[in-house]
Amino acid sequence: IEIKPYFINDLQFVEGHYNSVLGPLKSEWHRDGNNIILTVTIPVGATASIIAGDVYTRVGSGTHTFTISNYTK
């Protein structure tokens, strides 16, 4: 699983979900001043690569929150 959101300037909030064979997968983000708060939920038994702004990491199942600081584009 790869989570690589695009932060569109005209949007303040985006949420998406997908019912995978392992369970629900969810990604959402919202703006908080110049920061973007990204929250992802990965189903049990899965891992995901998160690529967003200055964040590049792999995570296991569960809900994970990341802050992309001073995002301007």
* Residue range 15-66, pLDDT digits in tens: 999 999 999 999 999 999 989 999 999 999 999 999 998 889 999 999 999 9
pTM: 0.91
**Least confident segment among 3-7, 18-22, 43-47, 67-71:** 67-71
**Three-state secondary structure readout of 5-46:** CCCCCCCCEEEEEEEECCEEEEEEEEEECCEEEEEEEECCCC
Per-residue pLDDT band at 73 (split at 50, 70, 90): low
Examine the pLDDT at 71 and tell me if it is beyond 80: no
